[in-house]
Amino acid sequence: MPTPAHEVDESTPVDPFEIVSNETRLEIVRALSEHLRSNGWESELSYSTLRERVGIRDKGNFNYHLGELRGTFVERGADGYRVTFAGFEIAKAIEVGAWATHEQRGPVEVGTAPLADGDDPLTAVYDDSRVQVSDDEGRLLFQHALRPSGVADREMEAIVDTMATVWLADVELMIDGVCAYCHGPTDRSVERTKKLPWAHSLVVACPECGPVARVPVGLAIVDHPAVVSFHWDHGIDLRDRRFWELEFLDDDAVAVLENDPVRLRIDVSLEGDRLAVTIDENARVVAIERDDA
């Protein structure tokens, strides 16, 4: 029995790029995406208005391509049609300017970092759609992609702040077990590292995307309530800090308690007060001790 056009045959994998390879289908998705941005997720576009915006006179041809999109990138409501979230993502990915070519920005100094040794400032550049932060020896410490469309109207300092915010949010998401790229489950572990500026790494891996993060182990506790409140008690809002400025990312703040299984203590010190956070081999907090001067 044939599968209706508005249903998805789950026995056959759907190739999203094949579905939108046709220009008419692409224009349908674009028209509905533009309508969504102007009117919100619940707003629908009537059949006649949609066909008019796409510019297809042949009703049969239009109906065929609309049917091919339904169930994957387009859905029908009571008053018309709207783009699905997948359709909106596809439209943004291929939208002109989303990943357009651009000129390199920077370099610009972006402060110092305890984990980079010494007081020499770090530098950042924006190139190949990525913000890259390096130490004074030219070693790449951190990087994250930012769409050129999100960079165009920002000065370099604001670009760096945006990268730091997005990068940390993605790390926190992955620490909590959600891949920032495919939203699948993640596993995390603590590993000894040799070729990085830090001795112990928090490693996050996704079954679909592979290793997605290898960062200083101190970031395993950056969003823990005890760490956040400890800083808040000392007048520091961690959301206002670029993550590489945090003292507890430095190796000097990390003590090895056990090797098999791994157990580390990360010391957070502020104004003579100390918060000792112990993590296990999966980078999970297992003990907290606070000493106030």
Largest CA distance in the chain: 79
| Residue 1: per-residue pLDDT | 31
Q: Domain residue spans in the chain?
A: 16-94
What pLDDT digit, counting tens, does each position of 28-41 carry?
998 998 888 888 87
- The CATH number of 16-94, from 3.40.50.1240, 1.10.3210.10, 1.10.10.10, 3.20.20.70, is 1.10.10.10
| Residue 14: per-residue pLDDT | 55
| Residue 64: per-residue pLDDT | 92
The arithmetic mean of pLDDT across residues 241-266, rounded, is 93
Q: Across all residues in the chain, what is the average pLDDT?
A: 86
Q: Do the beta carbons of residue 286 and residue 278 sit within 8 Å?
A: yes
pLDDT higher than threshold 90 for residue 78 = no
Q: Do the beta carbons of residue 91 and residue 33 sit within 8 Å?
A: yes
What pLDDT digit, counting tens, does each position of 138-183 carry?
888 999 988 887 888 899 999 999 999 999 899 889 889 999 988 9
In 3-state terms, what secondary structure has residue 291? strand
Nearest to 224 by CA among 291, 274, 183, 175: 175
pLDDT higher than threshold 60 for residue 5 = no
Question: Which pair of tokens denotes residue 70?
Answer: 């339904």
| Residue 225: per-residue pLDDT | 95
pLDDT band at residue 115, thresholds of 50, 70 and 90?
confident
Q: pTM for the whole thing? A: 0.74
| Residue 8: per-residue pLDDT | 42
* CA 291/CA 110 separation, integer angstroms: 32
| Residue 282: per-residue pLDDT | 94
In eight-state DSSP terms, residue 3 is P
